[in-house]
Structure 1
Protein backbone atom coordinates (compact mmCIF):
# COMPACT_ATOMS: atom_id res chain seq x y z
CA UNK A 1 0.00 0.00 0.00
CA UNK A 2 1.17 3.51 -0.77
CA UNK A 3 2.66 5.26 2.29
CA UNK A 4 0.19 8.09 1.68
CA UNK A 5 -2.67 5.69 2.39
CA UNK A 6 -1.52 4.24 5.71
CA UNK A 7 -4.20 4.68 8.37
CA UNK A 8 -3.43 1.93 10.87
CA UNK A 9 0.06 0.62 11.62
CA UNK A 10 0.09 -2.40 13.95
CA UNK A 11 2.96 -3.31 16.29
CA UNK A 12 3.92 -6.98 16.72
CA UNK A 13 6.71 -8.22 19.03
CA UNK A 14 9.60 -9.81 17.16
CA UNK A 15 9.62 -12.54 19.80
CA UNK A 16 6.19 -13.72 18.59
CA UNK A 17 6.78 -14.63 14.92
CA UNK A 18 3.50 -16.54 14.75
CA UNK A 19 1.72 -13.23 15.23
CA UNK A 20 3.51 -11.52 12.35
CA UNK A 21 1.69 -13.49 9.67
CA UNK A 22 -1.62 -12.91 11.45
CA UNK A 23 -0.93 -9.19 11.63
CA UNK A 24 -0.06 -9.05 7.93
CA UNK A 25 -3.40 -10.74 7.17
CA UNK A 26 -5.33 -8.35 9.44
CA UNK A 27 -7.06 -5.09 8.40
CA UNK A 28 -3.92 -3.17 9.40
CA UNK A 29 -2.57 -1.06 6.55
CA UNK A 30 1.00 -1.82 7.67
CA UNK A 31 2.78 -3.88 10.31
CA UNK A 32 5.74 -2.88 12.48
CA UNK A 33 7.74 -5.73 13.96
CA UNK A 34 9.07 -4.41 17.25
CA UNK A 35 12.59 -5.03 18.51
CA UNK A 36 12.35 -2.30 21.15
CA UNK A 37 9.73 -1.75 23.89
CA UNK A 38 7.86 -5.03 23.35
CA UNK A 39 11.04 -7.05 23.87
CA UNK A 40 12.74 -7.56 27.25
CA UNK A 41 16.41 -6.63 27.44
CA UNK A 42 17.36 -10.27 27.98
CA UNK A 43 15.51 -11.28 24.81
CA UNK A 44 16.97 -8.75 22.35
CA UNK A 45 19.33 -11.19 20.63
CA UNK A 46 16.62 -13.85 20.44
CA UNK A 47 14.23 -11.29 18.93
CA UNK A 48 16.72 -10.45 16.17
CA UNK A 49 17.25 -14.13 15.42
CA UNK A 50 13.51 -14.70 15.30
CA UNK A 51 12.96 -11.80 12.91
CA UNK A 52 15.91 -12.94 10.78
CA UNK A 53 14.34 -16.39 10.44
CA UNK A 54 10.91 -14.97 9.59
CA UNK A 55 12.26 -12.61 6.93
CA UNK A 56 14.37 -15.35 5.39
CA UNK A 57 11.45 -17.78 5.21
CA UNK A 58 8.87 -15.19 4.10
CA UNK A 59 10.48 -13.07 1.37
CA UNK A 60 7.03 -11.99 0.14
CA UNK A 61 6.12 -10.42 3.49
CA UNK A 62 6.37 -6.62 3.51
CA UNK A 63 6.85 -5.12 6.95
CA UNK A 64 8.37 -2.27 8.90
CA UNK A 65 10.74 -2.69 11.84
CA UNK A 66 11.12 -0.62 14.98
CA UNK A 67 14.76 -0.97 15.94
CA UNK A 68 16.17 -0.26 19.36
CA UNK A 69 16.98 3.34 20.22
CA UNK A 70 20.16 5.04 19.05
CA UNK A 71 22.81 4.88 21.75
CA UNK A 72 21.83 1.40 22.89
CA UNK A 73 24.08 -1.58 22.28
CA UNK A 74 21.45 -3.03 19.93
CA UNK A 75 20.99 -0.17 17.46
CA UNK A 76 23.68 -1.04 14.93
CA UNK A 77 22.96 -4.78 15.18
CA UNK A 78 19.29 -4.12 14.43
CA UNK A 79 20.18 -1.91 11.47
CA UNK A 80 22.58 -4.53 10.11
CA UNK A 81 19.81 -7.13 10.20
CA UNK A 82 17.28 -4.90 8.48
CA UNK A 83 19.71 -3.81 5.78
CA UNK A 84 19.98 -7.40 4.54
CA UNK A 85 16.30 -7.72 3.66
CA UNK A 86 14.46 -5.91 0.89
CA UNK A 87 11.13 -6.92 2.46
CA UNK A 88 11.85 -4.60 5.41
CA UNK A 89 10.23 -1.57 3.82
CA UNK A 90 10.81 1.12 6.48
CA UNK A 91 12.62 1.70 9.75
CA UNK A 92 11.01 3.25 12.82
CA UNK A 93 13.69 4.95 14.91
CA UNK A 94 12.56 5.33 18.55
CA UNK A 95 13.64 8.18 20.79
CA UNK A 96 15.15 10.02 17.85
CA UNK A 97 17.17 12.98 19.12
CA UNK A 98 20.01 13.57 16.66
CA UNK A 99 20.72 13.85 12.96
CA UNK A 100 23.73 11.59 13.38
CA UNK A 101 21.55 8.70 14.53
CA UNK A 102 19.29 9.11 11.51
CA UNK A 103 22.25 9.39 9.14
CA UNK A 104 23.50 6.07 10.49
CA UNK A 105 20.10 4.48 9.85
CA UNK A 106 19.94 6.03 6.38
CA UNK A 107 22.84 3.82 5.28
CA UNK A 108 20.28 0.99 5.16
CA UNK A 109 18.69 2.77 2.18
CA UNK A 110 15.18 2.51 3.59
CA UNK A 111 12.67 5.28 4.37
CA UNK A 112 12.94 6.41 8.00
CA UNK A 113 10.17 7.19 10.48
CA UNK A 114 11.69 9.04 13.45
CA UNK A 115 9.59 8.42 16.56
CA UNK A 116 9.50 11.66 18.55
CA UNK A 117 8.98 10.84 22.23
CA UNK A 118 11.48 12.93 24.19
CA UNK A 119 12.09 16.61 24.90
CA UNK A 120 15.42 16.42 23.08
CA UNK A 121 13.65 14.97 20.08
CA UNK A 122 11.21 17.88 19.99
CA UNK A 123 14.00 20.42 20.22
CA UNK A 124 15.88 18.71 17.38
CA UNK A 125 12.91 18.68 14.99
CA UNK A 126 14.09 21.71 12.95
CA UNK A 127 17.10 19.70 11.77
CA UNK A 128 15.82 16.09 11.99
CA UNK A 129 13.19 16.64 9.30
CA UNK A 130 15.85 17.55 6.72
CA UNK A 131 17.97 14.41 7.11
CA UNK A 132 18.05 12.49 3.84
CA UNK A 133 15.85 9.40 4.03
CA UNK A 134 13.31 10.75 6.51
CA UNK A 135 9.84 10.07 5.09
CA UNK A 136 7.56 11.09 7.95
CA UNK A 137 7.44 11.65 11.70
CA UNK A 138 5.57 9.59 14.25
CA UNK A 139 4.63 10.50 17.81
CA UNK A 140 5.17 8.65 21.08
CA UNK A 141 2.77 10.37 23.48
CA UNK A 142 3.10 7.85 26.32
CA UNK A 143 6.89 8.14 26.54
CA UNK A 144 6.71 11.90 26.06
CA UNK A 145 4.20 12.23 28.88
CA UNK A 146 6.33 10.12 31.20
CA UNK A 147 9.48 12.12 30.46
CA UNK A 148 7.74 15.46 30.99
CA UNK A 149 6.11 14.32 34.23
CA UNK A 150 2.56 14.80 32.95
CA UNK A 151 -0.48 13.43 34.76
CA UNK A 152 -1.85 10.92 32.27
CA UNK A 153 -5.38 11.51 31.03
CA UNK A 154 -5.75 15.03 32.41
CA UNK A 155 -6.66 18.18 30.42
CA UNK A 156 -3.31 19.69 31.34
CA UNK A 157 -1.40 16.72 29.99
CA UNK A 158 -3.48 16.79 26.82
CA UNK A 159 -2.66 20.46 26.29
CA UNK A 160 1.08 19.88 26.56
CA UNK A 161 0.99 16.81 24.31
CA UNK A 162 -1.01 18.75 21.74
CA UNK A 163 1.79 21.30 21.59
CA UNK A 164 4.11 18.41 20.71
CA UNK A 165 1.68 17.33 17.99
CA UNK A 166 1.63 20.88 16.68
CA UNK A 167 5.43 20.83 16.41
CA UNK A 168 5.42 17.54 14.50
CA UNK A 169 2.79 18.81 12.07
CA UNK A 170 4.41 22.19 11.41
CA UNK A 171 7.92 20.83 10.89
CA UNK A 172 6.61 18.01 8.69
CA UNK A 173 4.79 20.43 6.41
CA UNK A 174 7.68 22.88 6.30
CA UNK A 175 10.07 20.13 5.22
CA UNK A 176 7.67 18.64 2.69
CA UNK A 177 7.31 15.36 4.57
CA UNK A 178 4.20 13.22 4.58
CA UNK A 179 1.70 14.00 7.33
CA UNK A 180 2.78 12.59 10.72
CA UNK A 181 1.46 9.45 12.39
CA UNK A 182 -0.37 9.66 15.73
CA UNK A 183 0.74 7.85 18.87
CA UNK A 184 -0.74 4.58 20.10
CA UNK A 185 -3.84 4.73 22.30
CA UNK A 186 -3.46 2.76 25.56
CA UNK A 187 -7.02 1.39 25.56
CA UNK A 188 -7.77 -1.87 23.76
CA UNK A 189 -11.41 -2.51 24.62
CA UNK A 190 -12.80 1.04 24.63
CA UNK A 191 -13.46 1.37 20.91
CA UNK A 192 -15.37 4.64 21.38
CA UNK A 193 -12.33 6.26 23.02
CA UNK A 194 -10.04 4.89 20.31
CA UNK A 195 -12.33 6.20 17.57
CA UNK A 196 -12.46 9.63 19.22
CA UNK A 197 -8.66 9.77 19.53
CA UNK A 198 -8.25 8.80 15.87
CA UNK A 199 -10.88 11.31 14.73
CA UNK A 200 -9.18 14.06 16.72
CA UNK A 201 -5.78 13.16 15.27
CA UNK A 202 -7.19 13.34 11.77
CA UNK A 203 -8.72 16.73 12.52
CA UNK A 204 -5.28 17.90 13.67
CA UNK A 205 -3.68 16.95 10.37
CA UNK A 206 -2.29 13.51 11.20
CA UNK A 207 -2.79 10.88 8.50
CA UNK A 208 -2.74 7.63 10.48
CA UNK A 209 -2.23 6.06 13.88
CA UNK A 210 0.00 3.50 15.55
CA UNK A 211 -1.82 0.48 17.02
CA UNK A 212 -1.00 -2.05 19.73
CA UNK A 213 -3.85 -4.54 19.23
CA UNK A 214 -6.00 -5.78 16.31
CA UNK A 215 -9.15 -4.66 18.12
CA UNK A 216 -8.04 -1.07 17.58
CA UNK A 217 -7.94 -1.40 13.79
CA UNK A 218 -11.63 -1.01 12.79
CA UNK A 219 -12.29 2.31 14.59
CA UNK A 220 -8.95 3.73 13.46
CA UNK A 221 -9.42 2.71 9.83
CA UNK A 222 -12.90 4.19 9.82
CA UNK A 223 -11.78 7.46 11.39
CA UNK A 224 -9.09 8.02 8.76
CA UNK A 225 -11.31 7.06 5.81
CA UNK A 226 -13.39 9.79 4.13
CA UNK A 227 -17.10 9.28 4.85
CA UNK A 228 -19.76 9.07 2.16
CA UNK A 229 -20.90 12.56 3.12
CA UNK A 230 -17.36 13.94 2.74
CA UNK A 231 -16.97 12.27 -0.64
CA UNK A 232 -20.34 13.63 -1.80
CA UNK A 233 -19.32 17.13 -0.69
CA UNK A 234 -15.97 16.87 -2.47
CA UNK A 235 -17.61 15.69 -5.68
CA UNK A 236 -20.04 18.58 -5.47
CA UNK A 237 -17.18 21.03 -5.08
CA UNK A 238 -15.38 19.63 -8.11
CA UNK A 239 -18.57 19.77 -10.16
CA UNK A 240 -18.77 23.47 -9.25
CA UNK A 241 -15.14 23.97 -10.27
CA UNK A 242 -15.97 22.66 -13.72
CA UNK A 243 -18.75 25.25 -14.04
CA UNK A 244 -17.00 28.33 -12.67
CA UNK A 245 -13.81 30.30 -13.07
CA UNK A 246 -12.39 31.62 -9.81
CA UNK A 247 -14.23 31.52 -6.48
CA UNK A 248 -17.91 30.60 -6.30
CA UNK A 249 -20.64 29.91 -3.74
CA UNK A 250 -21.80 26.40 -2.82
CA UNK A 251 -24.59 25.81 -0.31
CA UNK A 252 -24.02 29.27 1.11
CA UNK A 253 -20.27 28.82 1.53
CA UNK A 254 -17.49 30.36 -0.53
CA UNK A 255 -15.36 27.92 -2.50
CA UNK A 256 -11.86 29.12 -3.35
CA UNK A 257 -8.43 27.55 -3.80
CA UNK A 258 -7.99 26.16 -0.22
CA UNK A 259 -11.46 24.58 -0.27
CA UNK A 260 -10.81 23.07 -3.68
CA UNK A 261 -7.51 21.65 -2.45
CA UNK A 262 -9.31 20.07 0.51
CA UNK A 263 -11.91 18.51 -1.79
CA UNK A 264 -9.19 17.14 -4.03
CA UNK A 265 -7.47 15.64 -0.99
CA UNK A 266 -10.67 13.91 0.14
CA UNK A 267 -11.21 12.38 -3.31
CA UNK A 268 -7.58 11.29 -3.55
CA UNK A 269 -7.83 9.48 -0.22
CA UNK A 270 -11.13 7.88 -1.22
CA UNK A 271 -9.61 6.67 -4.49
CA UNK A 272 -6.63 5.09 -2.70
CA UNK A 273 -8.92 3.34 -0.21
CA UNK A 274 -11.03 1.91 -3.03
CA UNK A 275 -8.06 0.62 -5.03
Structure 2
Protein backbone atom coordinates (compact mmCIF):
# COMPACT_ATOMS: atom_id res chain seq x y z
CA UNK A 1 0.00 0.00 0.00
CA UNK A 2 1.34 3.42 -0.96
CA UNK A 3 2.58 5.78 1.72
CA UNK A 4 0.38 8.89 2.21
CA UNK A 5 3.41 11.12 1.65
CA UNK A 6 3.97 9.65 -1.80
CA UNK A 7 0.30 9.73 -2.76
CA UNK A 8 -0.35 13.28 -1.60
CA UNK A 9 2.93 15.05 -2.25
CA UNK A 10 4.39 13.04 -5.12
CA UNK A 11 7.58 14.60 -6.45
CA UNK A 12 7.37 17.21 -3.68
CA UNK A 13 7.67 14.55 -0.98
CA UNK A 14 10.65 14.83 1.32
CA UNK A 15 12.19 12.53 3.88
CA UNK A 16 10.66 14.68 6.59
CA UNK A 17 10.33 18.23 7.80
CA UNK A 18 12.62 20.51 9.75
CA UNK A 19 12.27 20.68 13.51
CA UNK A 20 10.07 23.63 14.47
CA UNK A 21 12.73 25.14 16.74
CA UNK A 22 16.19 26.34 15.72
CA UNK A 23 18.30 27.05 18.81
CA UNK A 24 21.28 29.41 18.46
CA UNK A 25 24.36 29.55 20.65
CA UNK A 26 27.86 30.86 20.08
CA UNK A 27 29.70 30.79 23.41
CA UNK A 28 31.58 27.55 24.02
CA UNK A 29 29.86 26.61 27.29
CA UNK A 30 26.42 27.34 25.84
CA UNK A 31 27.14 25.46 22.64
CA UNK A 32 28.11 22.38 24.65
CA UNK A 33 25.02 22.71 26.85
CA UNK A 34 22.81 23.13 23.78
CA UNK A 35 24.06 19.89 22.28
CA UNK A 36 23.56 18.11 25.58
CA UNK A 37 20.01 19.46 25.87
CA UNK A 38 19.25 18.37 22.33
CA UNK A 39 20.28 14.82 23.19
CA UNK A 40 18.17 14.87 26.37
CA UNK A 41 15.03 16.11 24.61
CA UNK A 42 15.55 13.67 21.76
CA UNK A 43 15.43 10.86 24.30
CA UNK A 44 12.39 12.39 26.03
CA UNK A 45 10.31 12.95 22.87
CA UNK A 46 11.59 10.06 20.78
CA UNK A 47 12.64 12.36 17.94
CA UNK A 48 14.95 15.34 17.50
CA UNK A 49 12.64 18.26 18.27
CA UNK A 50 15.06 21.15 17.74
CA UNK A 51 18.13 21.98 15.73
CA UNK A 52 21.26 23.42 17.31
CA UNK A 53 22.90 26.10 15.19
CA UNK A 54 26.43 26.92 16.31
CA UNK A 55 27.08 30.59 15.70
CA UNK A 56 30.22 32.01 14.14
CA UNK A 57 28.81 35.39 13.11
CA UNK A 58 27.94 36.65 16.59
CA UNK A 59 29.81 34.00 18.57
CA UNK A 60 33.33 34.58 17.28
CA UNK A 61 35.35 37.35 18.98
CA UNK A 62 36.82 39.93 16.62
CA UNK A 63 40.21 38.65 15.59
CA UNK A 64 39.40 35.16 16.83
CA UNK A 65 37.30 33.98 13.90
CA UNK A 66 39.64 31.17 12.87
CA UNK A 67 39.88 29.79 16.40
CA UNK A 68 36.11 29.91 16.79
CA UNK A 69 35.57 28.09 13.48
CA UNK A 70 37.98 25.41 14.67
CA UNK A 71 36.02 25.07 17.92
CA UNK A 72 32.73 24.76 16.05
CA UNK A 73 34.27 22.08 13.84
CA UNK A 74 35.47 20.19 16.90
CA UNK A 75 32.02 20.30 18.53
CA UNK A 76 30.28 19.11 15.37
CA UNK A 77 32.67 16.19 14.92
CA UNK A 78 32.35 15.15 18.56
CA UNK A 79 28.53 15.23 18.62
CA UNK A 80 26.30 12.20 18.38
CA UNK A 81 25.63 10.97 14.83
CA UNK A 82 21.93 11.49 15.59
CA UNK A 83 22.43 15.17 16.43
CA UNK A 84 21.07 17.85 14.11
CA UNK A 85 23.69 20.59 13.94
CA UNK A 86 23.81 23.67 11.76
CA UNK A 87 26.37 26.44 11.63
CA UNK A 88 25.88 30.14 11.03
CA UNK A 89 28.97 31.38 9.23
CA UNK A 90 29.93 34.99 8.52
CA UNK A 91 28.24 36.85 5.63
CA UNK A 92 29.61 36.24 2.14
CA UNK A 93 31.28 39.68 2.08
CA UNK A 94 33.03 39.22 5.43
CA UNK A 95 36.78 38.45 5.37
CA UNK A 96 36.20 35.31 7.45
CA UNK A 97 33.48 33.79 5.24
CA UNK A 98 35.69 31.70 2.95
CA UNK A 99 37.76 30.43 5.87
CA UNK A 100 34.60 29.53 7.82
CA UNK A 101 33.29 27.44 4.95
CA UNK A 102 36.63 25.79 4.18
CA UNK A 103 37.23 24.88 7.82
CA UNK A 104 33.76 23.87 8.97
CA UNK A 105 32.14 22.41 5.87
CA UNK A 106 35.44 21.01 4.65
CA UNK A 107 36.14 19.07 7.83
CA UNK A 108 32.71 18.49 9.39
CA UNK A 109 30.29 18.72 6.45
CA UNK A 110 29.13 15.14 6.88
CA UNK A 111 27.97 15.91 10.43
CA UNK A 112 26.01 19.07 9.61
CA UNK A 113 22.34 19.45 8.77
CA UNK A 114 22.69 22.90 7.19
CA UNK A 115 24.73 26.08 6.80
CA UNK A 116 23.08 29.39 7.72
CA UNK A 117 24.14 32.37 5.57
CA UNK A 118 23.41 35.72 7.26
CA UNK A 119 22.74 39.09 5.61
CA UNK A 120 21.75 37.67 2.25
CA UNK A 121 20.86 40.60 -0.02
CA UNK A 122 20.17 38.82 -3.30
CA UNK A 123 20.27 35.44 -4.99
CA UNK A 124 23.84 36.29 -6.04
CA UNK A 125 24.88 35.90 -2.40
CA UNK A 126 23.35 32.43 -2.40
CA UNK A 127 25.26 31.57 -5.58
CA UNK A 128 28.53 32.69 -3.98
CA UNK A 129 27.80 30.70 -0.83
CA UNK A 130 26.93 27.59 -2.80
CA UNK A 131 30.12 27.84 -4.84
CA UNK A 132 32.24 28.07 -1.69
CA UNK A 133 30.32 25.23 -0.05
CA UNK A 134 30.72 22.83 -2.97
CA UNK A 135 34.42 23.64 -3.26
CA UNK A 136 34.89 22.70 0.40
CA UNK A 137 32.36 19.87 0.59
CA UNK A 138 31.30 18.54 -2.83
CA UNK A 139 28.42 16.50 -1.41
CA UNK A 140 26.76 19.78 -0.53
CA UNK A 141 24.46 20.86 2.28
CA UNK A 142 21.18 22.78 2.45
CA UNK A 143 21.61 26.52 2.82
CA UNK A 144 19.41 28.48 5.15
CA UNK A 145 19.41 32.24 4.68
CA UNK A 146 18.75 35.29 6.81
CA UNK A 147 16.72 38.13 5.29
CA UNK A 148 17.73 41.25 7.21
CA UNK A 149 17.16 44.36 5.09
CA UNK A 150 14.33 46.05 3.15
CA UNK A 151 16.09 45.29 -0.15
CA UNK A 152 16.44 41.61 0.79
CA UNK A 153 12.74 41.44 1.66
CA UNK A 154 12.01 42.85 -1.81
CA UNK A 155 14.06 40.02 -3.34
CA UNK A 156 12.80 37.27 -1.04
CA UNK A 157 10.96 35.37 -3.79
CA UNK A 158 14.06 35.21 -5.99
CA UNK A 159 16.14 34.06 -3.03
CA UNK A 160 13.61 31.40 -2.05
CA UNK A 161 13.55 30.05 -5.60
CA UNK A 162 17.19 28.95 -5.48
CA UNK A 163 17.23 25.13 -5.22
CA UNK A 164 19.98 25.08 -2.56
CA UNK A 165 17.92 27.25 -0.19
CA UNK A 166 16.04 25.23 2.41
CA UNK A 167 14.72 27.91 4.74
CA UNK A 168 14.29 31.69 5.00
CA UNK A 169 14.68 33.38 8.39
CA UNK A 170 13.73 36.93 9.29
CA UNK A 171 16.47 39.00 10.93
CA UNK A 172 14.31 41.35 12.95
CA UNK A 173 16.91 43.46 14.71
CA UNK A 174 19.02 44.20 11.65
CA UNK A 175 15.86 44.88 9.65
CA UNK A 176 14.69 47.50 12.14
CA UNK A 177 18.17 49.03 12.36
CA UNK A 178 18.34 49.27 8.56
CA UNK A 179 15.53 51.85 8.66
CA UNK A 180 17.77 54.50 10.24
CA UNK A 181 15.40 55.24 13.09
CA UNK A 182 12.22 55.28 10.98
CA UNK A 183 11.02 52.23 12.91
CA UNK A 184 11.19 52.91 16.67
CA UNK A 185 13.28 50.70 18.91
CA UNK A 186 10.20 48.97 20.28
CA UNK A 187 9.79 47.47 16.80
CA UNK A 188 12.40 44.97 17.97
CA UNK A 189 10.40 44.09 21.10
CA UNK A 190 7.73 41.54 21.85
CA UNK A 191 4.88 43.99 21.18
CA UNK A 192 6.28 46.16 18.42
CA UNK A 193 7.36 43.33 16.17
CA UNK A 194 3.72 42.27 15.94
CA UNK A 195 2.24 45.74 15.47
CA UNK A 196 4.53 47.93 13.35
CA UNK A 197 3.30 47.83 9.72
CA UNK A 198 6.74 47.64 8.10
CA UNK A 199 7.80 44.75 10.32
CA UNK A 200 4.52 42.93 9.71
CA UNK A 201 4.87 43.41 5.96
CA UNK A 202 8.39 41.96 6.02
CA UNK A 203 7.29 38.93 8.01
CA UNK A 204 4.43 38.21 5.63
CA UNK A 205 6.58 38.67 2.50
CA UNK A 206 9.18 36.25 3.79
CA UNK A 207 6.63 33.63 4.81
CA UNK A 208 4.85 33.97 1.45
CA UNK A 209 8.11 33.68 -0.51
CA UNK A 210 9.12 30.57 1.41
CA UNK A 211 5.78 28.83 0.91
CA UNK A 212 5.71 29.78 -2.79
CA UNK A 213 8.76 27.58 -3.36
CA UNK A 214 8.19 24.86 -0.78
CA UNK A 215 10.78 26.25 1.64
CA UNK A 216 10.54 26.65 5.42
CA UNK A 217 9.85 30.14 6.84
CA UNK A 218 11.61 30.60 10.20
CA UNK A 219 10.41 33.31 12.57
CA UNK A 220 12.76 35.76 14.26
CA UNK A 221 13.99 35.89 17.82
CA UNK A 222 12.17 37.11 20.90
CA UNK A 223 14.80 38.88 22.98
CA UNK A 224 12.72 38.97 26.18
CA UNK A 225 13.79 35.43 27.08
CA UNK A 226 12.84 35.71 30.77
CA UNK A 227 9.16 36.18 29.91
CA UNK A 228 8.08 32.64 29.01
CA UNK A 229 4.40 33.56 28.61
CA UNK A 230 5.29 36.33 26.18
CA UNK A 231 7.39 33.81 24.28
CA UNK A 232 4.47 31.40 24.07
CA UNK A 233 2.21 34.16 22.77
CA UNK A 234 4.73 35.27 20.15
CA UNK A 235 5.36 31.73 18.96
CA UNK A 236 1.63 31.02 18.73
CA UNK A 237 1.08 34.18 16.66
CA UNK A 238 4.01 33.35 14.39
CA UNK A 239 2.56 29.91 13.72
CA UNK A 240 -1.15 30.71 13.50
CA UNK A 241 -1.29 34.23 12.07
CA UNK A 242 1.87 34.63 10.01
CA UNK A 243 2.38 31.20 8.46
CA UNK A 244 5.74 30.37 10.02
CA UNK A 245 6.58 26.72 10.59
CA UNK A 246 9.84 27.20 12.47
CA UNK A 247 11.21 29.72 15.00
CA UNK A 248 14.51 30.77 16.50
CA UNK A 249 15.38 30.21 20.14
CA UNK A 250 18.21 32.10 21.85
CA UNK A 251 17.71 30.72 25.36
CA UNK A 252 16.95 27.16 26.55
CA UNK A 253 13.78 28.40 28.31
CA UNK A 254 12.30 29.27 24.90
CA UNK A 255 12.56 25.81 23.36
CA UNK A 256 9.60 24.12 25.02
CA UNK A 257 7.44 27.22 24.49
CA UNK A 258 8.15 27.05 20.75
CA UNK A 259 7.46 23.31 20.63
CA UNK A 260 4.15 23.82 22.40
CA UNK A 261 3.06 26.69 20.16
CA UNK A 262 3.93 24.98 16.87
CA UNK A 263 2.56 21.52 17.74
CA UNK A 264 -1.00 20.58 16.75
CA UNK A 265 -3.34 19.98 19.67
CA UNK A 266 -4.91 16.62 20.45
CA UNK A 267 -8.15 17.42 18.64
CA UNK A 268 -6.34 18.43 15.46
CA UNK A 269 -4.27 15.26 15.54
CA UNK A 270 -7.32 13.03 16.04
CA UNK A 271 -9.23 14.72 13.21
CA UNK A 272 -6.28 14.51 10.82
CA UNK A 273 -5.74 10.84 11.60
CA UNK A 274 -9.41 9.95 11.16
CA UNK A 275 -9.71 11.75 7.83
CA UNK A 276 -6.53 10.26 6.40
CA UNK A 277 -7.38 6.74 7.51
CA UNK A 278 -10.80 7.08 5.87
CA UNK A 279 -9.16 8.46 2.74
CA UNK A 280 -6.74 5.56 2.61
CA UNK A 281 -9.64 3.09 2.85
CA UNK A 282 -11.21 4.93 -0.10
CA UNK A 283 -7.97 4.69 -2.10
CA UNK A 284 -7.61 8.48 -1.73
CA UNK A 285 -10.82 9.25 -3.57
CA UNK A 286 -13.06 12.05 -2.16
CA UNK A 287 -14.89 11.20 1.07
CA UNK A 288 -17.55 12.70 3.31
CA UNK A 289 -16.43 13.19 6.90
CA UNK A 290 -18.80 14.58 9.51
CA UNK A 291 -20.89 16.17 6.78
CA UNK A 292 -18.01 17.82 4.93
CA UNK A 293 -16.36 16.89 1.63
CA UNK A 294 -12.65 16.09 1.65
CA UNK A 295 -10.33 15.30 -1.24
CA UNK A 296 -6.62 15.36 -1.92
CA UNK A 297 -6.35 19.09 -1.33
CA UNK A 298 -7.54 18.76 2.25
CA UNK A 299 -5.75 15.43 2.67
CA UNK A 300 -2.46 17.23 2.05
CA UNK A 301 -3.28 19.70 4.81
CA UNK A 302 -4.06 16.95 7.30
CA UNK A 303 -0.94 15.04 6.33
CA UNK A 304 1.13 18.10 7.23
CA UNK A 305 -0.68 18.23 10.58
CA UNK A 306 0.45 14.69 11.35
CA UNK A 307 3.99 15.40 10.19
CA UNK A 308 4.14 18.43 12.46
CA UNK A 309 2.76 16.40 15.36
CA UNK A 310 5.41 13.75 14.87
CA UNK A 311 8.24 16.27 14.54
CA UNK A 312 7.22 17.94 17.81
CA UNK A 313 7.09 14.68 19.73
CA UNK A 314 3.31 14.50 20.08
CA UNK A 315 1.62 11.14 20.61
CA UNK A 316 -0.05 9.87 17.45
CA UNK A 317 -2.92 7.35 17.25
CA UNK A 318 -1.60 3.83 16.94
CA UNK A 319 -3.27 3.33 13.54
CA UNK A 320 -1.12 6.02 11.88
CA UNK A 321 2.17 5.31 13.61
CA UNK A 322 3.11 2.90 10.81
CA UNK A 323 3.37 5.92 8.50
CA UNK A 324 6.26 7.23 10.60
What is the TM-score when the length of structure 1 is the normalising length?
0.86
Structure 1, 76-85 or 228-237: larger mean CA deviation: 228-237
The one of 201, 204, 212 aligned to 1:166: 204
Q: Secondary structure at the match of 1:25?
A: helix
Q: Secondary structure at the match of 1:73?
A: coil
Q: Which residue of 2 aligns with 1:93?
A: 117
Structure 1, 120-129 or 21-30: larger mean CA deviation: 21-30
Q: Determine whether 1:265 maps to 2:279.
A: no
Q: How does 1:64-143 map to 2 (within 5 A)?
A: 64-84=86-106, 85=108, 86-107=110-131, 108=133, 109-143=140-174
The unaligned stretches of length 5 or more in structure 2 are 1-14, 42-48, 134-139, 316-323
The unaligned stretches of length 5 or more in structure 1 are none
Query: Structure 1 residue 240: deviation in Å?
Result: 5.9
Q: Determine whether 1:50 maps to 2:71.
A: yes
Contact 2:119-2:146 at 8 Å conserved across structures: yes
Q: How does 1:125-274 map to 2 (within 5 A)?
A: 125-148=156-179, 149=181, 150-151=183-184, 152=186, 153-154=191-192, 157-177=195-215, 179-203=216-240, 204-238=242-276, 241=279, 246=286, 248=288, 250=290, 254-257=292-295, 258-272=297-311, 273=313
CA distance in 1, matches of 2:196, 2:294: 34
Q: Determine whether 1:35 maps to 2:56.
A: yes
Q: Which residue of 2 aligns with 1:12?
A: 25
Contact 1:14-1:48 at 8 Å conserved across structures: no
The 3 A distance-change label for structure 1 pair 80 and 39 is same
Q: Which residue of 1 aligns with 2:45?
A: none
CA distance in 2, matches of 1:184, 1:83: 26
Q: Which residue of 1 aligns with 2:320?
A: none
The 3 A distance-change label for structure 1 pair 63 and 200 is same
Contact 1:113-1:138 at 8 Å conserved across structures: yes
Q: Secondary structure at the match of 2:264?
A: coil
Of structures 1 and 2, the one scoring higher in RCO (CA 8 A, sep 6+) is 2
What is the TM-score when the length of structure 2 is the normalising length?
0.74
CA distance in 2, matches of 1:121, 1:63: 26
Q: Which residue of 1 aligns with 2:6?
A: none
Cα deviations across residues 234-263 of structure 1 (Å, max 9, x unaligned)? 234346655796464636xx4444444322
Cα deviations across residues 62-89 of structure 1 (Å, max 9, x unaligned)? 4100011121111111111222111122
The 3 A distance-change label for structure 1 pair 55 and 67 is same
Contact 2:194-2:200 at 8 Å conserved across structures: no
The 3 A distance-change label for structure 1 pair 247 and 53 is closer
Contact 1:106-1:132 at 8 Å conserved across structures: no
Q: Which residue of 2 aligns with 1:25?
A: 39
CA distance in 2, matches of 1:234, 1:3: 17
